C-alpha cells in the first residue's frame, strides 16, 4: 500500500490535471495568478510612483491618443498621477480585503455550519434564525452604516465584511454535514465513544471542506466588488492610498472630459472578478458539480 502522504499528493495532482483540462478554469487561474503577482510585485512592475503628482501633466490621455507617446500608457489623473501605476497598486487593498474578509467569514461560517448540521435541534434553529436576520439586511447599506459609525479604516472594512458574510458558508457546510452525519464511518466513530468535537474536526470537517472551498473562491469575487463599492462611496481605504473604487469616484467628476480616469480602474475590477469567477466555476464543476451556488 502506498504511503498516505504520497497518495494524497497523487490525488492532488490528478485533481489539478482535471481542473486544468477545463480551459475556462485554466484561463481564470492564469488571470488570478497574474493579478496576484502584479499586486505582490507592484513596486517592481509599476512605471511610476502611484502617489507622485505632476501638475504640469494633468489629465494626459492614454499613450495611443497622446502625441507625446507612451510615457503614461493609460494616461494621468487630475493630479497628474500615472493611472497605470495606480491601477497596479490598487490591486493590493482589493486582494488584501478579499483574502482577509473571506478567511474571517469562512471560518465563522464553517463553525456555524458544523455545529448547526451536527447537533441540529435548538442549536440549528438559533443559528439558522441568525442567518435569516443577517440575510434580511441590504448588505451594502448595513456595511456603510456600520463603517459610518466606526470610521473607515482597513481593519474596520475587513471586520465588517468578514463578520457579515458568514451565512452562505454556514448553509453550504450545514448541508454537507447533514449528509455526512448519517454515513457509517461517523456512526462507527460515535459508537466507539469518540468525542463530538473530535468527530467534527477529524471526520466531518475534511469532508465538508470541498464545498466550503468553492464558496470561498466565488465569494472572494463578491468581496472585491464590495471593497471597490465602499471605496467608491468614500467609505473604503482612505486616500491617497490608491483603490480601484476611489479612482472610479475621482474619474466620475471628469467623465465628460477625461474618459480614461473612470474606465481603467473599472476594467481592472472586471478582470480580477471575472478571473476569480471563471476559476471558481471550474473548481465547482470539478469538485462538486451538484453544488448549487
Partner 1 sequence: MTTYLVRRLAQSLIVLLGVSFVVFFILHLTGDPAAVLLPPDASAEDLQRFRQAMGFNDPFFVQYGRFLRGALQGDFGQSIRHGEPAFGLVVERMPATFELSGAALVIALALAIPAGIVSAVRRNTTVDYVSTVVALLGQSLPTFWLGIMLILVFSVHWGWLPSSGRGRIEHLILPAITLGLFTTARIARLTRSGMLDVLSQDFIRTARAKGVGDPPVVWKHALKNAAIPIVTIVGIELGTLLGGSVITETIFAWPGVGRLSVQAIYNRDYPVVQAAVFLLASTFVLVNLVVDVLYTYLDPRIRLR
**Interface with partner 1 (CB under 8 A):** 129-130, 132-133, 135-142, 144-146, 148-150, 221, 225, 228-229, 232-235, 245, 248, 251-252, 255-256, 259, 262-263, 265-266, 269-270, 273-274, 277-278, 281, 292
**Closest approach of Cβ 127 to partner 1, in Å?**
12
Residue 119 vs 259, nearer CB to partner 1: 259
Alpha helices in the chain (DSSP H): 4-21, 23-40, 42-45, 83-119, 121-136, 139-150, 154-163, 167-181, 184-191, 196-198, 205-232, 244-253, 260-287
**Closest approach of Cβ 7 to partner 1, in Å?**
34
**Closest approach of Cβ 276 to partner 1, in Å?**
8
Residue 71 vs 163, nearer CB to partner 1: 163
Q: DSSP code of 240?
A: T
Q: How far apart are CA 84 and CA 91, in angstroms?
A: 11
**Closest approach of Cβ 134 to partner 1, in Å?**
9
189: Cα within 13 Å, side-chain hemisphere: 17
Angle between helix 83-119 and 23-40 (nearest 10): 120
Q: How far apart are CA 124 and CA 119, in angstroms?
A: 7
Residue 71 vs 159, nearer CB to partner 1: 159
**Closest approach of Cβ 55 to partner 1, in Å?**
25
Residue 186 vs 276, nearer CB to partner 1: 276
CA angle, 91 then 94 then 97, to 5°: 140
Residue 72 vs 171, nearer CB to partner 1: 171
Strand partners, 105: none
Amino acid at each position: 500500500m502506498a504511503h498516505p502522504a504520497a497518495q494524497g499528493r497523487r490525488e492532488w495532482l490528478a485533481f489539478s490535471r482535471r481542473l486544468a483540462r477545463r480551459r475556462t478554469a485554466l484561463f481564470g487561474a492564469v488571470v488570478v495568478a497574474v493579478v496576484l503577482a502584479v499586486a505582490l510585485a507592484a513596486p517592481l512592475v509599476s512605471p511610476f510612483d502611484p502617489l507622485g503628482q505632476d501638475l504640469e501633466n494633468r489629465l494626459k490621455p492614454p499613450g495611443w491618443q497622446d502625441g507625446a507617446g507612451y510615457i503614461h500608457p493609460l494616461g494621468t489623473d487630475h493630479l497628474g498621477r500615472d493611472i497605470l501605476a495606480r491601477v497596479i497598486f490598487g490591486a493590493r487593498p482589493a486582494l488584501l480585503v478579499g483574502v482577509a474578509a473571506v478567511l474571517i467569514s469562512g471560518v465563522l461560517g464553517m463553525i456555524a455550519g458544523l455545529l448547526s448540521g451536527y447537533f441540529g435541534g435548538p442549536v440549528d434553529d438559533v443559528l439558522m434564525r441568525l442567518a435569516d436576520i443577517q440575510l434580511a439586511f441590504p448588505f451594502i447599506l448595513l456595511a456603510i452604516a456600520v463603517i459610518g459609525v466606526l470610521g473607515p479604516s482597513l481593519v474596520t472594512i475587513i471586520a465588517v465584511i468578514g463578520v457579515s458574510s458568514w451565512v452562505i458558508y454556514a448553509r453550504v457546510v450545514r448541508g454537507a454535514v447533514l449528509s455526512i452525519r448519517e454515513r457509517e464511518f461517523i456512526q462507527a466513530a460515535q459508537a466507539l465513544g469518540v468525542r463530538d468535537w473530535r468527530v467534527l474536526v477529524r471526520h466531518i470537517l475534511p469532508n465538508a471542506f470541498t464545498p466550503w472551498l468553492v464558496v470561498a473562491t466565488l465569494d472572494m469575487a463578491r468581496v472585491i466588488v464590495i471593497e471597490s463599492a465602499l471605496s467608491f462611496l468614500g467609505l473604503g481605504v482612505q486616500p491617497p492610498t490608491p483603490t480601484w473604487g476611489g479612482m472610479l469616484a475621482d474619474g466620475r467628476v471628469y467623465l465628460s472630459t477625461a474618459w480614461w480616469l473612470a474606465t481603467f480602474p473599472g476594467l481592472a475590477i472586471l478582470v480580477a472578478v471575472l478571473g476569480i469567477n471563471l476559476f471558481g466555476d471550474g473548481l465547482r464543476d470539478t469538485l462538486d458539480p451538484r453544488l448549487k451556488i
